[in-house]
């Protein structure tokens, strides 16, 4: 997203949206502005019916994201920390996880804390060989507050999350693949090319079916079950002649004649 203090840049190229963390001075750490810009970018992508996939990556080669920016939250009161920092981070990352299109995270640099929580919100993770992974929050006296003990457990499993979040283990890219954190491993600098290759295959698949399949998988994981059920059910009803008749009857101020079709 553009603005006077951009931390996140959204670009749309054809049918693919690219969300880039762009604050190399802080190792792409995620601050208040980045949180709001991630959320806003998801709203833009959600409304753009030409977009078939979104790619999240980091600017530079060293770090995808070092996590939540300590300078942004260290001085907050407990109330501010919970009500604003944690809650708004959840809003932004939930928007990524629940986006109607598939999301690919290209992890082209080290991925720690909030950076890993953001990657966990994607549907597929592509890591370059030099990348390391961790959840270091407890070493700072804080917890992984952007679903680092919830969505990460649902998607990666409790064992590896315990290793990182409780015992402070840092994983190599190869270990992350073995642990199920990363699905695709590529050489340094090849992450975006691999994402483009995967999206080319995705284009051959029906977009509505893909959207519904993603929602159903999210529901199976416990990712806002009620919204998914309501959405799928509403889409099914919207295809019926009964709906067209109901709308026409309302417009004509008459009783509807439903045919169960």
Which residues are the active-site residues?
117, 137
Query: Is residue 53 within 8 Å of 15, Cβ to Cβ?
Result: yes
* Sheet containing strand 8-13, strands side by side: 8-13, 16-21, 53-58, 103-107, 124-128, 184-186
Phi, psi of 29 (to 5 degrees): -65, 150
């Amino acid at each position: 997203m553009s603005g006077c203090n951009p931390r996140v840049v959204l670009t749309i190229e054809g049918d693919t949206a690219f969300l880039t963390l762009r604050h190399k001075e802080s190792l792409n750490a995620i601050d208040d502005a980045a949180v709001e810009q991630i959320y806003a970018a998801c709203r833009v992508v959600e409304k753009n019916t030409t977009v078939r996939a979104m790619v999240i990556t980091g600017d530079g080669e060293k770090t995808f994201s070092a996590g939540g920016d300590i300078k942004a939250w260290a001085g907050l009161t407990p109330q501010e920390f919970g009500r604003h920092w944690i809650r708004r981070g959840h809003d932004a990352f939930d928007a990524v996880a629940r986006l109607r299109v598939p999301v690919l995270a290209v992890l082209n640099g080290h991925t720690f804390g909030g950076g890993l929580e953001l990657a966990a919100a994607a549907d597929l993770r592509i890591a370059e060989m030099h990348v390391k992974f961790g959840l270091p929050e407890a070493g700072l006296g804080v917890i992984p507050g952007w679903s680092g003990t919830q969505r990460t457990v649902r998607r990666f499993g409790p064992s590896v999350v315990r290793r990182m979040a409780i015992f402070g283990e840092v994983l190599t890219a190869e270990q992350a693949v073995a642990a199920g954190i990363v699905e695709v491993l590529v050489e340094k600098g090849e992450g975006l090319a691999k994402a483009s290759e995967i999206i080319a295959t995705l284009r051959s698949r029906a977009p509505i079916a893909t959207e519904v399949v993603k929602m159903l998988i999210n529901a199976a994981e416990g990712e806002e079950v009620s919204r998914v059920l309501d959405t799928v059910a509403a889409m099914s009803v919207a295809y019926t002649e009964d709906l067209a008749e109901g709308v026409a009857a309302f417009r004509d101020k008459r009783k509807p004649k439903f045919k169960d079709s």
